[in-house]
Chains A and B, each alone.
Chain A
């Protein structure tokens, strides 16, 4: 009896010590992460113009969410976000995978080429966006000059000035920028794959394509899923390139959710409404990452 109590006391003390060690970082997390998250959740149900101070805060219930449904800016933002993610993620991951395969095997000057694929990722998105604006300049830009003079396209796309092409331009730019990053992750994984499996496949007479689809991809499924999840979440957070290149235009053709949040919060000062849009963005990301997680549990080895 006595012995038992002593033990719990020690355990208690150890537990206390544990919490004491946790305390500093816990305080930081609470102040800088948990409180802001709770605050912005609550703000989504209010109408608040911060210019009037706290007196301007008014609880409006579901009003903001009702307004979102008829809001052209948010609805087009959601549509653009989905188009963007559904093209950006498959393109980036498949190109990265193909690149990684070639870099792993078939290429001379591996190191310089690996560096070149990674280069866009380490350059700042702001400068990359500016360079792409010049490349895709509608009148006599390099890309359009090649299209008209080499391929004899009579009416080349106007890229960032046209509502049909602006989002495509942004997708192209983002894929080019991020492919190197995912390529490096996949390449690292590919280099660690056991060689015996490939050897026995070669003995059995498997073609390179069979090897790729039947051996490489299944063996890499967990890191592929990691890349897909990461790319999906990042793709929903797209903002920088849009804000620099098109500011959401022409019309609403490139408006995305984060940009709508920024617009409502810092151009119109509708903080409550912006928070409501942020909640929508959170829900979208939450749904997609849950689906991906469930798929991962089923599909990986």
Chain B
């Protein structure tokens, strides 16, 4: 008898354990099913989850929540490290509750292609948004084959930042706004000569994929006419040789050393290790963060050099990040309203955080001042990021297959920069592997 009771007890316990998952699940779905109509009845706000690694100011979110009582935007800050995209991808794929996600600088196109994000054309048409007029050159970063999946909201534009104190001490004139690659190399060489006893380099170019191509992108083409890999374009060859030469002459921190030391632009340049640095507009954001980067010198910024005399200046390299709605979001309408508000009305917040807003109608006369405020840049220098006469090109490969192309190029080219393979071998390998990948 006793044993039978024990057995029944065990069975009951096991059943309870086993049933636990499913019963909790059904309770959950029931609760949410009950919630939906209840929410409409009592106007419970819809929760919109927005994930990002660079959030300007909580105030613009509070303003939005106050103005839209039916929506409650919840911000989730994620670390700004190399794994940030993987984290967002997994959130989007696992059917998590993410409603608004950012995708940065050229990483968006494979994600548009995969169907991870909801198309936005319907919303754009309904609200009568003229993408070309509103976003100009940034508009292409939100679309794939004519369909919009993302709205550009934050841009990166490169420049050559220079440490004015070092130039003054060396007696070298500041970089001009109309200079060529040759002049850039000469300036870097002079500054390296001046700083070599203190271990100060003339300039800095990071190891990001295709970072060596920012200037050459003014002329180079990634693909041939018939859609094959065009890595042997003379412009790319010259760009690669230039990086290698500057590395070998110790004018800039060599590629391998950046990798080995895990050097980063902001702490290196703001730590006074270089006289110049090739960096995006986001360096302004870091210059405002005096706690993290306590530096004490004046900084100016010049446009990127022109590749050669045939290119019209001024020139810069650019890319844009977009906001998108994951295809499995339950609240697309509300998410869209938040995106629209963010992009159209928060440009000043984005500028104040040291990032470039992309909504052109918001480019007022003060925007460069707001952007530079708190950093050592003068508003005249800041204006260079907002001028519409700049010849903008991109080093990112935004055509189909571009992500793989850049990955292959990075893997092969680092061996050339580290002096393990000749330029010819490297270019042959890139060409072969890219063409194989494109053929698939």
Contact = CB atoms under 8 A, between A and B. Distances in A.
Contact of A161 (B4, B14, B89, B259): B259
Given A17-B3, A250-B414, A251-B415, A133 B10 contact: no
A250 B418 contact: yes
Interface string A12-41: 010011001101100100000000000000
Given A138-B260, A161-B259, A51 B415 contact: no
Contacts of B418: 158, 161-163, 250
Contact of B115 (A23, A52, A158, A251): A52
Contacts of B241: none
Contacts of A49: 114
B60 to A, nearest CB: 30
Contacts of A158: 256, 260, 418
A132 B17 CA distance: 47
Contacts of A27: 14, 17-18
Contact of B257 (A50, A139, A249, A267): A139
A144 B86 CA distance: 36
B14 to A, nearest CB: 4
B420 A137 contact: no
A136 B257 CA distance: 11
A162 B420 CA distance: 7
Contacts of A164: 420
Interface residues of B, number: 34
Interface in A122-162: 133, 136-139, 158-162
Interface string B323-354: 00000100000000000000000000000000
Contacts of B6: 17
Given A133-B262, A250-B415, A251-B415, A17 B256 contact: no
A33 to B, nearest CB: 16
A161 B10 contact: no
Contacts of A249: 259, 411, 414
B260 A21 contact: no
Secondary structure at the A interface, as helix, strand, loop or mixed, is helix
Contacts of A138: 256-257, 260
B414 A251 contact: yes
Nearest to B82: A247
B111 interface: yes
Interface in A38-54: 49-53
A61 to B, nearest CB: 17
A159 B260 CA distance: 9
A251 B13 CA distance: 56
Contact of B7 (A17, A56, A251, A268): A17
Contact of A266 (B90, B116, B328): B90
Contacts of B90: 266
Contacts of B89: 51, 266, 269
A198 interface: no
A193 B348 CA distance: 76
A252 interface: yes
B411 A137 contact: no
16 contacts: A13-B7, A20-B11, A23-B10, A27-B18, A53-B328, A133-B262, A139-B257, A158-B260, A159-B260, A160-B260, A161-B260, A163-B418, A250-B256, A250-B418, A251-B415, A267-B86
